[in-house]
Structure 1
Amino acid sequence: MRSSYDAQRNEFCAYVMHERETPYGLLLGNFKSYAQSTAKAGVRGLWDADSDRIIFGTHQIAYRLRDVGVTYFPHEIERTFTFLPYAQLSEFTLGERIHVTEAFYVPHGPKFDRSVAFVVDLTLYNPGDAAVEVAVFPWALLVGQRFYGETEADVDAGVVDGSIHAVNSTLGAQRWWGGSREPYAATVSVREQALLAQMRSGTLLEDEAVVEAFVEGGDTARTSSVRGRIFGAMEYRIAVEPGARSLLRLAVVFHKDGALDLRPRFKDLLNDSKALHDTQRYFANRLADARFLTPSQRISRGVVWAKANMLRIIKEYPIGWGSTNSPPSDILVSRDTSWFVHGFDYFMPEFSRDAIEVFNQHIEESGLMIEYVRGVNAYKTAYDLNINDDTPLHCIAMLHHYNATLDEAWVRSRISIVRQLADYLLSQRDERGLLFGKAQGVDMYGISSWRNIIPYYKLDGAVTEINSEGVFALEAAAILCAVAGDQEAWQRYSDEAQSLREATMNHLFDDDTGAFVLNIDQNGDFQDSFTADEIFPVLFNVADTGERDAILKRLSESDFTTPVGLRTISTADPWYFPSFGFGLLGGVWPDLTLWYVVALARNGSIDEGVGFLDRIYEAMEGGSPRNTVPGEFAEWFDGGSLTNRGMYLSPWTGAKYLWAVAETVGGFDGYRTSGRPHLHPLRPKGWNWVAGVNVRWGGKRCTYVVDFERATISTNAPDLSAEEPYRVVGAGRDVSDEVTISPVEIGAVAFEAPNGSVTIFVLNDDEQERDAIVEFRGSSRRVELAKGAIESLVIGGR
């Protein structure tokens, strides 16, 4: 497997590999849909955000070299994959005669960003000296089906004008499927194997004399109309001349409204030569923001692909914007959304705002934040819990988002919600002053914790995690009230935060063990096993410095740490099982590891934090041996085999990775409220520089370069401040996008001063020495760079 990294143009980053090196294909999406590639480059499960339905089951392609009479099915083809942030390429050769490229993507950009659709662009290249005729056989399950569940019912399908039209007669939902060329034949059937047998024999037509019945318009075009588990197939015959390339676009377009004339949109997508370009351009424009550059190319790559994952999961549901915890789905979880906000604030704070507002609209009257809400029908639940992590985390996310935007008007308009959340937390204290859960069930109905999906498990009462988050949520509420001008509430919540901290330390911290108990349950029993949940009183500054250091040191021991991250509980714990309960009793969750990374960095262990940032993304790039899809952030790993056992693309992990980079090596602190952007650079061993380009913070786009040796920060943000001993230098406006540099792995950040002089910082990673060619406005310079070096060029000026 090969990875390529383009520091300036993130949309050109890629992974190239044989199909054996990845367990699966990419999950892609736009604002309204998801579509998933399979291990053999088929497409499974086109999904619609407005109905939460999978509405197109599967899509595969077979090929036939007609002169030799051989049909190649997907299982008989070995291919090379190229994974891009916005598309997937699959390449292979048929009989050493025709080179095939399949480009799969979900169209994005202003024209198709809300189309429930996917595209497969085929390119057939003939390198020989004689023409070759190829038969292309796309076939598909035309109805929706989730895995092996029930198929969509009441669907009628037929051939219309060379394309296949399928309509749900009950719901009215419709879909069109077809190609940019006129098919030689097209048909529908309830028997997939019958269609495959025809492909194997050479044609979908039993009698080739009746070709016109399949391709002419009018009623004669509907050669069949069937209902049930319907398959469709088409046959295209394409003559590829010597040295030439022939193209075919296949596309599916869906809409839930049967009264809408969908065919013009379908035809538009088939004929739009810029559809892939516009998709790439959307990703290019977005990936240009939050470009964190570091001497570790792996961490820098991780940032790029974290953002690519984040762009795929953004959805516009009927109730508003959000991202599900389990693509494809409309379940929007408050906890996950709060952590999404931490990452999106640096990248797309407008999405953070919209996602927060969805939950602002669905908070319970009592002030309890719900567990989740359905994006289609607004059904919501809190699992009958009286206290959860959703409530404090929402308040914390609102503080983080304020610091990202400095939008005081928004805070003033939402301060009643902040008070409602804080007052509810205070109402749930017991006689000891601790937040106390009174769960009546088990599993999701019995666990007040982020680990809330362990079967038959219960974790309630006074939970250290919840109380730690509660302390910081009350501090967040106090700060937000101060921003809104309510000094009385600021004082009250500040005092209550201190009281809750004291209660947590007095009752949940065990002086004998030097650690916190997991919880004190409703029966008064202590669970005092040392688990990775100890990270919460460290992350939220409940524990004192010595106690934080002791906890972090214990978590760094070999029974917790692995080459892919941090285990949820120790291998020495009698309850340890590497995969039970979705890895929450001994598996490795990257999200937990990223909390650990931030806690390490904030407590003087930046080198260890960087090491985990590196090993987390190394696991994501591992491919088949780790059961991870390169370029996608996996959900959780078996604590024994250290292979991914969860989703290939975990929607929340990419956002957390971006947050962790921003708030460790990036130098930001999302919880620091100072009214302007502020940096606290943390220098890992051997690093000479770090940079951020178009980082969305403090209501603006901040670009900066930290030169560790000179203790200077050059920036386009005149109000940027920094911790001592760093000196901030206003370098002028950011013109980095005008720089072209070779090789592309080298970063370049450029500022134009008012006098017209341009300073270009040339940033090399720590992998190898490089000679760079820097081009800017017609001027070219050559620079020799040592490993990890930073050099500056000055061009022009008056």
Structure 2
Amino acid sequence: MGPTFDAQRNEFSAYVLREEQTPFGLTLGNFKTFASSTPKGGIRGLWDADTDQIIFGAHQIAYRAGDDETLFPHQIVREFTFLPYAQIAEFEIGRDLHVTEAFFVPHGPKHDRVVSFVVDVTVHNASATAKTVRLFPWALLIGQRFYGEPEKEVCATVRGRFIRSFGEETGWVRWWGGSRAPDAVAVALREQTLLQGMMRGTLGTGEHLGEITPHLAEFSSRRIFGAFEYRLEIPPGGREPLRLAVVFHKDGDERSKPVLEQLLADDDALPATERYYAEKLGDARLLTPSPLINRGVVWAKCNMLRVIKEYPQGWGSTNSPPSDILVSRDTSWFVHGYDYLLPQFSRDAIELFNRFIEPSGQVVEYVRGVNGFSTFYDLNVNDDTPLHIIAILHHYNATLDDAWLRGVYPLVTKIADYMLTQRDANGLLFCTAAGEDMFGITSWRNIIPLYKLDGAVTEINAEAYFALEATARLAAIVDDRAAWEKYSAEASALRDAMLAKLFNADTSAFVLNYDTDGNYQDNFTADEVFPVLFEVAEPAVRRAILKRLMESDFTTPVGLRTISTADSWYFPSHGFGLLGGVWPDLTLWFAVALARNGAHHEAAHWLERVYETMEGGASRNTVPGQFGEWFDGGSLTNRGMYLSPWTGAKYLWAVAETVCGLDGYRTSGRPHIAPLLPADWTWTAAVRVHWGGRRHSYVIDAERKIVVGDMDFASADDPYQVYYAGRDVSDEVRTSPVEVGAVAFEDERGAVRIYVCNDRERPRDVVLDFREQIFRQRVDAGRMAEIRIGEPMLVDAMETRVRREAAAPV
């Protein structure tokens, strides 16, 4: 298995691997759908965001070369190429017959809301004689989840070169077919009848049906199958293509069949999808000396682009693809990453939850994206409420949109005031839960069966402290001095209460909680990261907590366990790994906490380990290029989703706010860089990262302690100085090898400064192409070199702002 990384053109990054090296294929999506590939190239789970329904079953292809036996997917061994926007499978079906299957979900302006997937098949005849190949695509024509019943009242009919399946109760329509006229088309109640025809070499025997009614489908548990037979005549050395596609729309034939016909004939469908990813991946290019982290950032962004959806209720990303369940805590953490890549999505996702806040000011647990149902699990307070305020602070800093802040500010104070009403006699936020599991856990670890965690919980109070501090900061921005004084004082009082009632001086750590009966749980868990992350603990205590979490009963090669192996509650997989398993999200919180407390080397170590695990493939039960959900604390293999919707955004946030020096909570009104680099790193860089309402690019030179960028009004932590170098022209530079990044600035006189950024994998002889000029530069491993064209100037960016055109506006 080999990864490739293109620093300048992230869309060209890839993984090439054999079938046995991955447990599953890619999950792809656009604004309205998801679809996934099995390791045998089958496409399954086509889903619709407007109905929250899987609306097409598994799609597979069998092949027959001449009079040879028909080869079914289980008889074919593939080599995969995973791309940001598509999955390529390559294999042979006979002597000198090479097949390529390109699976993608169409994206771009024309197809970004089309519920569809495409498989482009190309058969290459490498021999000196003509060949005949038959293809047999077949599929389950209705949608079915792993839970629940199949769709009811579906009629499937052969309509010329297509198969139409129609929901008589719903009006939903699917059209499926290919770019060529088939030799035969059939629908059937039993899959085996179709497979038998394929084994004989043809579906055209007249034994198959042309229509299946809902009444007939009752005899096969409402399962309906369809198949095509295509015949390709391939000349010597020639290639013959066939495009297969499915299009669904809930509003019937007029919104589905013409779209299928257009898609089948559209040679630009795949290039347009690639262009969409190229444009979006061009933003937030975070570069470091670590090749693992660099790849992790690219594929984190790919994951982020695949999971955002436009639901009837608005924009969001589900916690469990494919689904319309939009969770508030997850959305708040999504915002931390999307602010650097797609701040408009952050805005829209926040606004969706703003519409569903309870009249009291409580933030709900989740909203259904289709019908708008919402719930707070009968909990009076949990992490959703403070995290929403924290997300608003982060998003304001990403946009510096004062008008938006003034509009949302009354809601912020309403939420903050609600939190203050939920304090107990000790001044701590206190949850009274009547149930267990989701109805009894106020923490992020809220899906543990038969478990309860309520009362005064350290995690929730730490978040609430920082949410009150965030409210005070936002009050200062809108010039509400009384509110600033109020919420600053309330934040201090809550922190004091935590130190008095939740901190155990004997252990130099915080208790987990005290419950409704006044009982303390003082076992040390990884939730100790929250009073560190949100700066409740004193600096010495933070360091002691982090040191304890670095011990071997918590750490593993894949990340941080949720609780210690020595804890009496420890079980490596129970409760979705929340009592001893490993969650990458927790490890990323840990990495940020380490970096903010001086452990820069250790922070970078965990950023690398998180993504190294995702590249593990079959040995870790992960799909390279996708972030797995959670890992068994014993076997250290993924036990959750192959594409966790949460983790990509957190990874981008963690890299941006540690080694790339950004601080999403700082309200300075200008970009501020606080480099948190390991001692042996000499540079990091960011290209087209969204911040302060614009896109910015910069390099951090750790040796000279300077930051150079296109920010004409910026600041940095001591001892760094910030300099304005002109406009960003990085996208005009091409590098070879492609792993080497280039960050370039042009000043007002046309002089150019190019920073050549090499990772620590090896020294490289680099060729740069800039405006038809060729430059050659030897760059040592892990080092950054500088090329100057003319006499470029640097201007102190920390002085009073002089208005000039700098970074590209968002």
Fold shared, TM-score > 0.5 on shorter chain: yes
What is the alpha-carbon distance in structure 1 between the residues aligned to residue 593 and residue 778 of structure 2?
A: 37
Q: Letter of the 2:75 partner, please give it.
A: E
Tell me the alpha carbon deviations over residues 208-258 of structure 1, each in whole angstroms, 9 at most, x when there is no partner: 9xxxxx9xxxxxxx9334433110100000011111111000000000012
Within the alignment, does 1:80 sit opposite 2:79 as a pair? yes
What is the alpha-carbon distance in structure 1 between the residues aligned to residue 430 and residue 147 of structure 2?
A: 42
Within the alignment, does 1:44 sit opposite 2:44 as a pair? yes
2:116 alignment counterpart:
117
1:645 alignment counterpart:
639
2:779 alignment counterpart:
785
Aligned counterpart for 1:739 among listed residues 707, 718, 733: 733
What is the alpha-carbon distance in structure 1 between the residues aligned to residue 332 and residue 611 of structure 2?
A: 22
**Contact preservation (8 Å) 1:182, 1:236:** yes
**Contact preservation (8 Å) 2:596, 2:676:** no
2:224 alignment counterpart:
230
Question: Once structures 1 and 2 are overlaid, which stretch shifts more, 251-260 or 380-389?
Answer: 251-260
Within the alignment, does 1:318 sit opposite 2:312 as a pair? yes
Deviation for aligned residue 1:485: 1.9
Question: The residue matched to 1:72 in structure 2 has which SS?
Answer: coil
Structure 1 pair 797–550 and aligned structure 2 pair: CA distance change class (3 A): closer
2:12 alignment counterpart:
12
**Contact preservation (8 Å) 2:173, 2:253:** no
Within the alignment, does 1:137 sit opposite 2:124 as a pair? no
**Contact preservation (8 Å) 2:658, 2:677:** no
Q: Letter of the 1:223 partner, please give it.
A: G
1:332 alignment counterpart:
326
Deviation for aligned residue 1:781: 1.1
2:802 alignment counterpart:
none
Aligned counterpart for 2:590 among listed residues 592, 596, 603: 596
Structure 1 pair 426–58 and aligned structure 2 pair: CA distance change class (3 A): same
> Structure 2: which 5+ residue stretches go unaligned?
218-222, 793-810
Tell me the alpha carbon deviations over residues 18-48 of structure 1, each in whole angstroms, 9 at most, x when there is no partner: 0000000011000000001111110011000
What is the alpha-carbon distance in structure 2 between the residues aligned to residue 434 and residue 198 of structure 1?
A: 70
1:423 alignment counterpart:
417
Aligned counterpart for 2:547 among listed residues 553, 570, 573: 553
**Contact preservation (8 Å) 2:142, 2:150:** yes
**Contact preservation (8 Å) 2:462, 2:534:** yes
TM-score by length of 1: 0.97
Question: Once structures 1 and 2 are overlaid, which stretch shifts more, 293-302 or 199-208?
Answer: 199-208
Q: How many pairs are equivalent?
A: 785
Deviation for aligned residue 1:262: 2.3
Aligned counterpart for 1:268 among listed residues 262, 271, 293: 262
What is the alpha-carbon distance in structure 2 between the residues aligned to residue 160 and residue 328 of structure 1?
A: 30
1:356 alignment counterpart:
350
1:447 alignment counterpart:
441
Deviation for aligned residue 1:685: 2.7
TM alignment of 1:369-518, pairs within 5 A: 369-518=363-512
What is the alpha-carbon distance in structure 2 between the residues aligned to residue 664 and residue 778 of structure 1?
A: 36
What is the alpha-carbon distance in structure 2 between the residues aligned to residue 266 and residue 730 of structure 1?
A: 51
Q: Letter of the 1:142 partner, please give it.
A: L
**Contact preservation (8 Å) 2:34, 2:46:** yes
Deviation for aligned residue 1:633: 0.4
Tell me the alpha carbon deviations over residues 375-429 of structure 1, each in whole angstroms, 9 at most, x when there is no partner: 0000000000001000000000000000100111111001111011100000000
TM alignment of 1:751-762, pairs within 5 A: 751-762=745-756
What is the alpha-carbon distance in structure 1 between the residues aligned to residue 646 and residue 206 of structure 2?
A: 54
Question: Once structures 1 and 2 are overlaid, which stretch shifts more, 763-772 or 89-98?
Answer: 89-98
Q: Letter of the 1:328 partner, please give it.
A: P
**Contact preservation (8 Å) 2:755, 2:785:** yes
Within the alignment, does 1:660 sit opposite 2:654 as a pair? yes
Question: The residue matched to 2:310 in structure 1 has which SS?
Answer: strand
**Contact preservation (8 Å) 1:189, 1:226:** no
**Contact preservation (8 Å) 1:178, 1:252:** yes
Within the alignment, does 1:257 sit opposite 2:251 as a pair? yes
Q: Letter of the 1:79 partner, please give it.
A: R
2:23 alignment counterpart:
23
TM alignment of 1:610-649, pairs within 5 A: 610-649=604-643
Q: Letter of the 1:63 partner, please give it.
A: Y
**Contact preservation (8 Å) 1:105, 1:120:** yes
What is the alpha-carbon distance in structure 2 between the residues aligned to residue 261 and residue 435 of structure 1?
A: 51
TM-score by length of 2: 0.96
Deviation for aligned residue 1:796: 4.3
1:70 alignment counterpart:
69
What is the alpha-carbon distance in structure 2 between the residues aligned to residue 223 and residue 410 of structure 1?
A: 57
What is the alpha-carbon distance in structure 2 between the residues aligned to residue 763 and residue 259 of structure 1?
A: 53
Deviation for aligned residue 1:148: 5.8
Question: Once structures 1 and 2 are overlaid, which stretch shifts more, 757-766 or 371-380?
Answer: 757-766
Aligned counterpart for 1:769 among listed residues 723, 739, 763: 763
Deviation for aligned residue 1:342: 0.3
2:2 alignment counterpart:
2
1:184 alignment counterpart:
183
What is the alpha-carbon distance in structure 1 between the residues aligned to residue 720 and residue 679 of structure 2?
A: 17
1:217 alignment counterpart:
none
| Superposition CA RMSD, Å | 1.1
Within the alignment, does 1:156 sit opposite 2:150 as a pair? no
**Contact preservation (8 Å) 2:416, 2:467:** yes
Aligned counterpart for 1:691 among listed residues 675, 685, 696: 685
**Contact preservation (8 Å) 2:249, 2:255:** no
What is the alpha-carbon distance in structure 1 between the residues aligned to residue 415 and residue 404 of structure 2?
A: 16
**Contact preservation (8 Å) 1:563, 1:615:** yes
What is the alpha-carbon distance in structure 2 between the residues aligned to residue 260 and residue 459 of structure 1?
A: 52
Question: The residue matched to 2:768 in structure 1 has which SS?
Answer: strand
**Contact preservation (8 Å) 1:190, 1:226:** no
**Contact preservation (8 Å) 1:188, 1:226:** no
Deviation for aligned residue 1:149: 3.7
Question: The residue matched to 2:63 in structure 1 has which SS?
Answer: strand
Tell me the alpha carbon deviations over residues 96-122 of structure 1, each in whole angstroms, 9 at most, x when there is no partner: 321000000000000000000000000
What is the alpha-carbon distance in structure 1 between the residues aligned to residue 13 and residue 709 of structure 2?
A: 26
What is the alpha-carbon distance in structure 2 between the residues aligned to residue 533 and residue 729 of structure 1?
A: 40
**Contact preservation (8 Å) 1:172, 1:259:** no
1:219 alignment counterpart:
none
What is the alpha-carbon distance in structure 2 between the residues aligned to residue 483 and residue 712 of structure 1?
A: 29
Within the alignment, does 1:365 sit opposite 2:359 as a pair? yes
What is the alpha-carbon distance in structure 2 between the residues aligned to residue 443 and residue 683 of structure 1?
A: 40
Structure 1 pair 275–738 and aligned structure 2 pair: CA distance change class (3 A): same
Q: Letter of the 1:24 partner, please give it.
A: F
TM alignment of 1:663-674, pairs within 5 A: 663-674=657-668
Within the alignment, does 1:94 sit opposite 2:81 as a pair? no
Identity %: 63
What is the alpha-carbon distance in structure 1 between the residues aligned to residue 333 and residue 192 of structure 2?
A: 46
Question: The residue matched to 1:243 in structure 2 has which SS?
Answer: coil
> Structure 1: which 5+ residue stretches go unaligned?
209-213, 215-221
Deviation for aligned residue 1:475: 0.5
Deviation for aligned residue 1:760: 1.0
Q: Letter of the 1:69 partner, please give it.
A: D
Question: The residue matched to 2:575 in structure 1 has which SS?
Answer: coil
1:730 alignment counterpart:
724
